[in-house]
Structure 1
Amino acid sequence: MSKKSLGLNAFLNGLRSVLNLLFPLVTFPYISRVLSVSGIGIYNFSNTYIGYFILIAGLGIATYAVREGAKYRDNKEQIEEFSSEVFSINILATVIAYILLLLSLVIFKNLNNYVACILIFSIQILFTTLGTEWIYTIYEDYTYITIRSIIFKILSIILLFIFVKRPSDYLIYAAITVLASVGSNFLNFVHARSFIHIRLTLNTRWEYHLKPILTIFASSVAVTIYVYSDNTILGLMKNDYAVGIYSTSVKIYQIAQSLLSAVLTVTIPRLAMLWGQRRRREYNDVLTRVINTLGVLVLPASVGLLMLSREVVLIIAGQKFLPSVNSLRIITWAIIFSIFSWIFSDCVLIPAKRENKVLRNTLVTAVINIILNFVLIPTMSYDGTSLSTVLAELSVMIMNGYSCRDIIKPIIFKKETLKNLLESIIGCIGIVGVCLLCQWSWNSMIMVTIFSVNSSILIYGAILVLLKNKIAISMLKNAINIIKNKI
């Protein structure tokens, strides 16, 4: 199999991640004006409710499938046997999720007002399983699913403006949301046959697969608990206004985080394959490149967002959400910690079959986050929730790093890595200076944003090139080659 470009894959995966986050941001201003408050409430509750059953159906299989499947991808017989077994487990989990969903609708009578919307959203459970995106991840092929995703997102936006016209159209909006998120998944399932032939099988090695799958699933549940606990505790201890302000800063934080993590996501199958095939030197080389590349990208992105928090909030959310600026400035630091925590967990611990360490660290982090919320929210409100997220992400980064210290120590303390970090910090000082200068020079929010972003990229890149940073020079050469080819 030909080796895929990690750079191209990172771009495509980043584009898809950003589109998934931008779809609700683009549609919400229209929807909030068309639908009734109760309609939006039913929509949001039903969507959140189904999320738990999607989690049950997923069962941590995607992460496990990428780790194990990457080892077999060059052996057609082995990868087909493995994929069929994993897919069969996924289908069984999906059936169980539907049974539990139907039972909950029968048992809990207070869900009667939500039944129709919940059933529409429940289509996502089956189609998420059929999407088998882990196959595309194993083969490092993001082109097909990215193009399909873009087409369905655009189609969904067109349908939204055509069919959602009245306050009672929230069910139509729910159906369009399903189309946008999983509409292309059946086509993904059909196209996956160009890689391998998947079939349902009863001849599955249950004992071999279930223990690691359930461990990864438990980690996913723990993450879900501590992610949702922020809004839940804030809503209980304060009010809906506080939740709305915090949610705005979180949405912006998630967009930046998703774009940066795209570089990381596409390297996971490559690292899993190299580790599984015991190619340690190549594994260390790729991991070093990932850490250094993210070091060059994550620090300036976080500093830039920190400096332009006010402008970003005004552009994305508007004047009434200005109180979220400070919350965004605090939670921006979590980007750095979460990205490197993810490196240690998904790129090191899971390929090394230490998912039990990931579970332990995630559970401890969930407890830390919940305790911090109860301590900080009474005095700091939504800013306290942001600070608890930062401290929780810092904690899990330290714990994950410690759990794989024997693997990452030679990489983290390598002269090249430390030099790369120092050069990035020096470049970030340049970004701070440029942003302050732009804010002093213009009163216009748009002008400040445009000049700050462009000037920051130029000054940061120039500083790294002058310091002879290998990652920056490599990026510059690639950009020059692309321009030459276009000309």
Structure 2
Amino acid sequence: MSKSISKNAVFKAVLNVSNIIFPIIAMTKVLPAIGTALNGYLTMGETLTAVFMIFATFGVSQYGLREVSRVRDDKEKLGQTITSLFLITTTTTAITSILYVIFLIMHESEKAYFYTCMVMGLNIVFNLFNVEWINEALENYDFIAIKTMIVKIIYNVLTIIFVKTQTDFLFYIYLTSAINFINNIASYIYIKRKIKFDFSNIQIIKHIKPMFSVVILANTYILYTWFDKYIINSVMGYVEAGYYGTAQKIMSLIDILMFTIIQVSMARLSNYLANHSKEVYLNLLNKVVKIYFLLLFPASIGLLCVSKQVILLFGGGTDIYLPAVPILMVFSIYMLTIGIDRIIADQIIYIFGKEKKDAKLVLIGGIINLILNLLLVVTNTLTPTRVITMTLIANLAVIAMEYRLVKKEIKLDIKLFSLANFKYLYYSLIFIPITYFINENVSSVILSCTIDVVVCGMIYLIILLVTKDKVFYDLLDTVLEKIKLKI
């Protein structure tokens, strides 16, 4: 299988750009329409379903991607591996769905957001048909992009047309669940037409043990931020949790686009390490890191600089979501740590099969996060902004421990924190004084945000051109070559 990484990246980028543009349009309508209270309901529903979804998927998105990538050139092993993993996730999904309902009845039945959580729990059931990890392992990014774009367009158009007031809230959560089902079932039908289940050599025990570690490793971000929202809801209420959730969603929109490079290269990196050489793998990894950082750092610092304008725009021009501004500012820095962690955990530790050790490091980080948050509770200083700050600190500790593992045990000669990689952060820091000056002198929210993005983007481009940045020029040459081929 010889699909181009650059072609895959284009399909994935188109998909992720659409996943940013359409949700932005929809959220600017939905957030002011439903108000802060119902947004809190939505946040708690998303939080609880996300946690249970971890155990329903059972790490198959990461583990399945790696295992299928390794055997994708052998049709017999491919069918057997997919069948074994599908049987595991079918079982875990069924069990988790039942446990989710029991949990809600026992612990959340008296809460105002109970019904919202029940409806959104359908997404756990629909995980039965979630086979997107197979498409990613087989690098079917053209199908994923086209299918998901069509579904997303329908979803966002319906949202914009029909969700106008708080009375439309139930329609909104019904629509969200229905669209998720359609997205999953379309992928399931596509895969079933291409690959037949093979029950001749079912292996359950072989996969169960490593998948336990992946459950923790692949969901670090969800586990940490889930606890954040849960403790905010318990101490301050679901409205404050909603502010946290709003900031997190906005950051996630940008993070999805950044994650494109990691997603499209993971299958290839795993395949190279298994079937070629460590040197070939390392060359590709270094290239991916540089491209990723070239985009990640300006995106993160840029979001930090326009946090207030973004919150106002998503709030429909009203100030009801202004308490989310400082939360989003911290989230923009947290996005940096997520990106660095993805490189270390997903593209190095996991591909070298050290996920069990990394899971222990993640648990240590979780304990650090728990202690720091409990200190906030005990000292009566807990706020959503301080909670995400504590999570940021915990994630930095995890990164430090993971990098030590890479250097000491895997012994991979990668200089992740070198000047060659981090110069993009230093370039991006110039955005801070520039945007401060613009925002102080331009009162219009839309105009100031537009000027911020255009001016900072142009300055960043000029710096790359003046310094003759090799990574940028390589990317530019690749894009121009693709355009010539198309013409």
Q: TM-score range by the shorter chain?
A: 0.7 to 0.9
Deviations 1:121-140 (A, max 9, x none): 44433433323111111112
SS in 2 for 1:362: helix
Deviation at 1:441, TM superposition (A): 5.4
What's 1:235 paired with? 233
Deviation at 1:394, TM superposition (A): 1.0
Range with greater deviation from structure 2 (219-228 or 123-132): 219-228
Confirm or deny: 8 A CA contact 1:43 1:170 kept in the other structure. no
SS in 2 for 1:468: coil
Separation of aligned partners in 2, 1:447 and 1:163: 29
| Cα RMSD after superposing both structures | 3.3
Match of 1:392 among 382, 391, 394: 394
TM-score under structure 2 normalisation? 0.86
Confirm or deny: 8 A CA contact 1:152 1:179 kept in the other structure. no
Given the superposition, is the C-alpha separation of residues 388 and 109 from structure 1 closer, same or farther in structure 2, using an over 3 Å criterion?
A: closer
Deviation at 1:432, TM superposition (A): 3.9
What's 2:460 paired with? 460
Confirm or deny: 8 A CA contact 2:163 2:172 kept in the other structure. yes
Deviations 1:266-321 (A, max 9, x none): 11111111122252111101110111112211222222222222222222234333
What's 1:366 paired with? 366
Confirm or deny: 8 A CA contact 1:328 1:386 kept in the other structure. no
Given the superposition, is the C-alpha separation of residues 114 and 402 from structure 1 closer, same or farther in structure 2, using an over 3 Å criterion?
A: same
Range with greater deviation from structure 2 (266-275 or 12-21): 12-21
Confirm or deny: 8 A CA contact 1:11 1:262 kept in the other structure. no
Unaligned runs of 5+ in 2: none
Given the superposition, is the C-alpha separation of residues 384 and 11 from structure 1 closer, same or farther in structure 2, using an over 3 Å criterion?
A: farther
Confirm or deny: 8 A CA contact 1:13 1:142 kept in the other structure. yes
Could you tell me which amino acid in structure 2 is paired with residue 362 of structure 1?
V
2:406 is the alignment partner of 1:404: yes
SS in 2 for 1:339: helix
Match of 1:275 among 273, 276, 279: 273
Confirm or deny: 8 A CA contact 1:131 1:188 kept in the other structure. yes
Given the superposition, is the C-alpha separation of residues 211 and 369 from structure 1 closer, same or farther in structure 2, using an over 3 Å criterion?
A: same
What's 1:217 paired with? 215
Could you tell me which amino acid in structure 2 is paired with residue 452 of structure 1?
D
Unaligned runs of 5+ in 1: none
Deviation at 1:381, TM superposition (A): 2.0
Separation of aligned partners in 2, 1:168 and 1:127: 26
Given the superposition, is the C-alpha separation of residues 464 and 420 from structure 1 closer, same or farther in structure 2, using an over 3 Å criterion?
A: farther
Separation of aligned partners in 1, 2:188 and 2:119: 21
- What does residue range 89-104 of structure 1 map to in structure 2 within 5 Å? 89-101=88-100
Could you tell me which amino acid in structure 2 is paired with residue 260 of structure 1?
M
Confirm or deny: 8 A CA contact 1:69 1:82 kept in the other structure. yes
What's 2:186 paired with? 187
Deviations 1:3-54 (A, max 9, x none): 222x343344345456556666544554567669987776665554444443
- State the identity as a percent: 25
Range with greater deviation from structure 2 (434-443 or 289-298): 434-443
SS in 2 for 1:356: helix
SS in 1 for 2:381: helix
What's 1:208 paired with? 206
What's 2:147 paired with? 148
Separation of aligned partners in 2, 1:447 and 1:21: 20
Range with greater deviation from structure 2 (263-272 or 439-448): 439-448
Given the superposition, is the C-alpha separation of residues 103 and 425 from structure 1 closer, same or farther in structure 2, using an over 3 Å criterion?
A: closer
What's 2:421 paired with? 421
Confirm or deny: 8 A CA contact 1:59 1:213 kept in the other structure. yes
SS in 1 for 2:413: helix
Deviations 1:319-369 (A, max 9, x none): 333343333223322122111111111111111111112211111111111
Confirm or deny: 8 A CA contact 1:263 1:294 kept in the other structure. yes
Given the superposition, is the C-alpha separation of residues 136 and 216 from structure 1 closer, same or farther in structure 2, using an over 3 Å criterion?
A: same
Deviation at 1:374, TM superposition (A): 2.7
